[in-house]
Chains A and B, each alone.
Chain A
Amino acid sequence: MTRMFVDAWDPAYGASFEGGDGEGPASPSSAQVDTDVEVPAAEWAPIGVPAAARPPDVVFLVDGVRRNDAGLWTAEEDGTSYAGLAASYAAGVVRCDLARGAAELVGARVGRGLFTASPSAGDLQAGTVRYEIHRINGSGEASKLPAAVQGPLTALEIEISSAARDGGSDGADLLIVDGPLRNRRQLPRTIGYVKTQQKQYLPAALTTVVTALRPGQRTPVFHLGTVWGGWSWYLRLPGASGAPWSGIVRVECSPDLTVEQAIELAHLSGATLPRFASASYKDPRAPQNLVPIAGLERRLRGMLGDSRVLHRALALATSRTR
């Protein structure tokens, strides 16, 4: 009889992997994958945390949240209309000092933007809040606007994470970025933490290694040859339901690093991340949504302000422009 598992994630968030057949990430990636980096592909096997690997005392975790405050429409002089999006976004850094037992918010910044393709729109002052204009290129359909928020948010995240480390790493800490690294790869000692697996990067033969991982174990490092690629590995977090792909996260680091540095970071992630895994009864995206990240997101959402208040302020502000 087929064994079944309930996905730990709240259905509202989708599944921790997007797949059609339940076998794992659905769409095979077209990326060139080099699986012979750490060990030859033929010798792939789960790798535990080496006894010598000590988790860093200080871990920084960066995350950002965003919220669409209101959708707008402009009325141009010539009678045309453009869609607009007023969004609030915030990025913050948590500094987990595990030696001292204190997690604190070391930096957080809130940004608000008005995203529109309208050539005539300017900054929007809604009550005490100012929405900066971010003019986007192209026709600016309403459906494309939410994606445009990601740029300024990522910029904010980079800005704040370099500020949190006072401009540099002390060589022992670790910065965990929520989501793929993308253009944040220049940050030192940084790993990207990917919660949802949408692409299947590994060949089918090696996928069994992923599903065979026990909590805390990782796959060998492999190299992704895509634009935003780099060194990457899979890791299973504790507290998963036992389904083949549950609790699996993909970790990546900058391709500018050497293989040895990447492997060191992989060891470090195996020693560090399981500790931060969340419990399913507390977090709808457990265990992948890390405890500090969840706490940070709550704080950041609080900083975004009350959406109803902002929506009302926007409505009031726009009514004056008529």
Chain B
Amino acid sequence: MIGVSDEAEPPRGGEPNAKPESEPVGRVLGTADATPLQFWTAVAPGSYLQLDDVVVTRRDLPDREPVTIAGVVTQVRARHEGAQFDSDVFAIADGTLPAMVQEAAEITTTRVDPELYVPPAPGAIVHRASGETRDAALHFDRMERRVPMGTGRDGVPVFLNADFLDGTRGAHVSISGISGVATKTSFATFLLYSVFRSGQLGADGANARALIFNVKGEDLLFLDHPNTKLDDGTRAYYKLLDLPDSPFTDVRVYAPPRPGDPSGAPDVSGRLTGVDAFYWTLEEFCSAKLLPYVFADADDERQQYTMVVHSVTAHLNRFAVPAEGGISIDGRRIGSYGDLVDHIVDQLTDDETRSVWAGSAVNMGTVNAFARRLISSKRDLSRLIRGDLAQRRPHQIRTADSAQVTVVDLHNLPDRAQRFVVGVTLKTEFEEKEKAGTGRPLLFVVLDELNKYAPREGTSPIKEVLLDIAERGRSLGVILIGAQQTASEVERRIVTNSAIRVVGRLDPAEASRPEYGFLPPAMRQRALLARPGTMFVNQPDIPVPLCVEFPFPAWATRKSESGPPPAETLRSIVQSADPFAVIGGRAGGDDDIPF
């Protein structure tokens, strides 16, 4: 049971905050209903309670052991007692009307131990919980593996139950909040960092992979660079959370090729080393049936031409033959995406070949609609689907062969190209996982703007993949960390499948939607003014969302604050060995066999 100060509890061995010390802060109110799940506490003079404080009280029962009721402060109010009118405050401040300031705090119960749902008795002493009492109140003591995710308002670490993160009992994280202030991506990366470095997931944590899509700026391209703005306070913060204050160690960054660059150099401006270009060869485009992902807009699916898309995809898959990087189809060699589009459009507009490509029951209007969109995709996709670059050069995003953290930079890509990359990459990864048939190693997928990829209305190939991940990913070890400005616009099944829901600063209109029903009213109001770095985290085994503050990242988030890049990134992925390395000497961190 949860320890209350009036009884001596044997301290649990070895815990850093094992000493149960709790101070009385007030008494349970009798003027408002006290229920087993919610009650009010009058705050004693000279004490205070703030939102998110953890308190504990006890109820003695006849012929039974006492019930300990622990909870979190969800609302605090102060008022003048003895005043009847609003203007009485002037008389009170003037010193003519006697009145008393009384504070009261609403407590939402988090734990009842033993599970006997009786209300606390009005007048019962309420203690501030600390140490193991606090851990018990927040169910941390029942968590076998606790992933630190920051500190509470009281500056003491709060944890995430790893069982709900790695698929043991639940998976997926949904993060909502206004862009820019809600620090969604920062929290997602910090969570990943905590998973990788806290050691709570054991071997799973060390072996886990992460696939991060960078959609805005070059924020996430410096994950392996130390942050030069890290101060002692932040270092102490990391120490408090029992985490090292270093950047991510094993990061590989992929960026799309520079447009118009025949050599396929990655299109990044901030990060200059350790970036590889990703692209798909025309041969892969045809054999892996990637054409539907060109039409990955939800609007596309409603149109008639989807059947054209599928028949063309099938045709390409069947008849395209690899030829020196490009493909050969119908006896023609095609060396670029533009050429391929032109060829397809030619064939479809030609009355003789149309039925071969698109089937017989397709009318001209549908074909034209398809052709129009296909032609418009040339500009967006020609840099990603290549026939002119070396096929054998590593260019595919595969987390299994990549580093622990794979960052895919999308921020330079137009919308259609972003969808294509996300769709194809996720599909490939998920299929790999399906083939492997095992849930390990874990793969964390961080995807921002989920409302774009899996909108509530309509359907698209990407949405299908994301739904698959949300519904089956848990058993396959694919964990989706999705972020969005508005959870109400994301496919409901994806949101409901997320075991962990995180909310940063919310838009007022958005906050009132039922998707945020897990937030108590007071917290919903607070979410409207949450500062950057403050998140509300709801996890299944704690009935109240926790207000979490997480530390400033130990890794750089922009060029200006980045320290020296790690040695390994100075070596390009294209070269499997460092040409400057002395044979037998230690190059970078790896111990390559020199032959």
Contacts and interface: CB of A to CB of B under 8 A. Distances in A.
Contacts of A94: 98
Interface stretch (A155-163, A216-224, A294-302): A294-302
Contacts of A105: 98, 100
Contact of B94 (A101, A296, A298, A299): A101
B560 interface: no
A104 B99 CA distance: 7
B98 A299 contact: yes
A97 B87 CA distance: 19
Interface string A103-139: 1110000000000000000000000000000000000
Instruction: Name which of B93, B98, B99 has the most chain A CB atoms within 10 A of its CB.
Output: B98
B269 interface: no
Contact of B95 (A98, A294, A296, A298): A98
B95 A295 contact: no
B575 interface: no
A103 B85 contact: no
A102 interface: yes
A97 B95 contact: yes
Contacts of B98: 94, 96, 103-105, 292, 295-296, 299
Interface in A278-322: 282, 291-292, 294-296, 298-299
Given A282-B85, A298-B82, A101 B95 contact: yes
A282 B95 contact: no
Contacts of A282: 84-85, 87-88
B95 A100 contact: yes
A54 interface: no
Instruction: Name which of B84, B91, B92 has the most chain A CB atoms within 10 A of its CB.
Output: B91
A276 interface: yes
Contacts of B94: 98, 101
B96 interface: yes
Interface residues of B, number: 16
A105 B91 CA distance: 15
A196 B310 CA distance: 98
Nearest to A104: B98
A275 interface: yes
B96 A103 contact: yes
Interface in B77-129: 82-85, 87-88, 91-100
Interface string A63-103: 00000000000000000000000000000001011111111
Interface string A193-225: 000000000000000000000000000000000
Contacts of A98: 94-96
A308 B116 CA distance: 33
Contact of A291 (B91, B93, B100): B91
Nearest to A98: B95
Interface size range on A against B: 20 to 34
B453 to A, nearest CB: 61
A103 B92 contact: yes
Nearest to A103: B98
Nearest to B95: A101
Contacts of B82: 295, 298-299
A100 B88 CA distance: 17
A99 B96 CA distance: 11
Nearest to A97: B95
Contacts of A97: 95
A291 B95 contact: no
Contact of A275 (B83, B93, B96, B99): B96
Given A282-B84, A282-B85, A299-B82, A292 B97 contact: yes
B89 to A, nearest CB: 12
A105 B97 CA distance: 10
Contact of A96 (B85, B88, B95): B95
A213 to B, nearest CB: 22
Nearest to A61: B98
A299 B100 CA distance: 10
Contacts of A102: 95
Interface in A122-176: none
A257 B95 CA distance: 29
Nearest to B83: A295
Nearest to B99: A295
Interface string B541-572: 00000000000000000000000000000000
Contacts of B83: 295
B96 A96 contact: yes
A276 B96 contact: yes
Nearest to B88: A282
Contacts of A299: 82, 98
A238 B362 CA distance: 94
B94 to A, nearest CB: 6
Contacts of A298: 82, 84
Instruction: Name which of B82, B85, B88, B92 has the most chain A CB atoms within 10 A of its CB.
Output: B82
Nearest to A92: B98
Nearest to A101: B95
A97 B92 CA distance: 11
B27 to A, nearest CB: 17
A96 B97 CA distance: 8
A273 to B, nearest CB: 11
Contacts of A276: 96
Contact of A292 (B84, B96, B100): B96
A103 B95 contact: yes
A298 B94 CA distance: 18
Instruction: Name which of B88, B92, B97, B100 has the most chain A CB atoms within 10 A of its CB.
Output: B97
B96 A291 contact: yes
Nearest to B93: A101
Contacts of A100: 95
Contacts of A294: 97
A91 B96 CA distance: 18
Instruction: Name which of B84, B87, B96 has the most chain A CB atoms within 10 A of its CB.
Output: B96
Contacts of A291: 91, 96-97
Nearest to B92: A103
A102 B94 CA distance: 7
A162 to B, nearest CB: 19
A107 B189 CA distance: 60
Nearest to A275: B96
Contacts of B93: 101
Instruction: Name which of B91, B93, B95, B100 has the most chain A CB atoms within 10 A of its CB.
Output: B95
Contacts of B85: 282
Contacts of B88: 282
B93 to A, nearest CB: 6
Interface string B175-189: 000000000000000
Interface in B468-520: none
Given A282-B84, A282-B87, A291-B97, 8 more contacts: A98-B96, A291-B96, A294-B97, A295-B82, A295-B83, A295-B97, A296-B98, A298-B82
Interface of B: 82-85, 87-88, 91-100
7 shortest interchain CB distances as A-B pairs? A103-B98, A101-B95, A295-B97, A295-B98, A94-B98, A291-B96, A98-B95
14 contacts: A96-B95, A98-B95, A99-B95, A101-B94, A103-B97, A103-B98, A104-B98, A282-B87, A282-B88, A291-B91, A291-B97, A294-B97, A295-B91, A298-B84
